[in-house]
A and B are shown apart, each in its own frame.
Chain A
C-alpha cells in the first residue's frame, strides 16, 4: 500500500494517470459518448443539471455516471489511504460564484480543460484558442496569487460536511435506478432524458460509471489537475502536473488515430463552434475562475470526494452556473455563441477580477 501511495506522487505516477484517461476517454467516445467528449466535466455537469430539470435545453439532459464515479472513486481512495479529511469554511460563497462563472465561461467555449485537451487530441483546431484562453486566464490568476490573493483557511469539521456532495452523487445514481431511461421518451419519472443531441449520446451506463470510478480513484491518488498543470508551470516552473496532461493529449491522440477518431480541421468539429475570439474569451474566464478557486473542475470533484466541502460548493456552483447558462442563452452551440454569450464573458471576467483584487491576505 505504501509503495502504491508513493508511486502516484511520482513522475511516472502522474504520467500513467494522464495516459489512462487518454485511453479511456476516447474509448468512451467510441462506445457512445459525444464527439471529442469522452470525458468533459463541464459538459457532463451541465447534462446532469438538465436531467434534473434545472435547465430545459432538451439536447443536453442526462445523468452522467462519469461525474458520479469521479466523486465516489475519489471517496473510496481517500478512505482506503486514510486521506478523507472533512474540511470547509474557506470563503464558500466566493467558491460558489467562481464555480458558476467557470461553468459559464467553459460553456461559451463548449468544454472544460479536459475536453479542450481531448478536442485537441481529436484534431479540433478550435481547441487551440480555448487552451490559449485557459492559459491566459490561469496566468492572470498566478498574478493574483503572487500579489497575496487568498480565500483563507479551511477548518476541520464534521464528517457529514465531507459526505454531503458524495451523498448527492449517490442520490443521483439512485434516481437513475428508480427512473431509468426509456427508449423514445423524453422523461422518466422526474428525470429528463435527451432524445437527440449530445445528451442522447452516451456509452453504456455501467461502463461510464466504472471508468468514472477508476479515474476518480487514480486522480485522487495522483492529484491530477489540468489547471494546476499550467499554474505550477507558470508560477514555479514545475512540470509535475504538466506531465500528466501531456500524457493525456499524446495518448488520446494515438488512441484516436487507432480508432479512426482523429479528424483535423476547424470547421464542423463535433459539439464545437469556430468563433475563435469567444473560444479564447470563454476560457479566459474559466481559467481565471479555476485558478482563483485552486483547481480544475475535475480536481474539484476529486477534492469533494476526499472531504473538501468548499470544493463541493464549487461543484454546486458549476451545476447552477450551467442552469443559468442555458436559461439565459449564455451557452454556445455548434452554430456559434449564445445570444447573451458576449455579455456573459465580460461579466464573468469582471466578477473574477473583482474577487481577485479584493480577496487579499491581511497583513498581520
Chain B
C-alpha cells in the first residue's frame, strides 16, 4: 500500500514492462473526494492507459517516494487526516473493480472512477487504450 504519487508511479512503470498485469489504485483527499484507477495489460499490450496519459501528477509527482527520503525528512511528514467514509468508499470501489474485471472477467471499460460523497456523485471514465474519440 502506497499513499503518494511518486511511489505509485514506480509501480505503474514496473507494471508497464509486464505482459499481463492488473494494478488497482485508489486514493482520497482529506474530505469527501476520492478516485480509483485500473491499469490493465494483456499479452504485452495496454488494455487501459498508463495513468500518466491523463494524469500529469504521475509524470511529475508533486511529492517524493518515501523510500527516497532520509529519516529526518520522513519524520517531518505530516500524517494528515482523512474521513473514514471516504476511505471506505475508495476500498469499496476498488473491490468492486476486482470483482467485475478479475472474478467475472469483464472488460475494464470504467477504467477510472471519481466520486464525491459530499455531493453524492460518482462518474466513470473509459480509459481503454484503444478508445477512439468520436465527434458525431
Do A and B form a real pair?
no
B→A interface (CB under 8 Å): none
A→B interface (CB under 8 Å): none
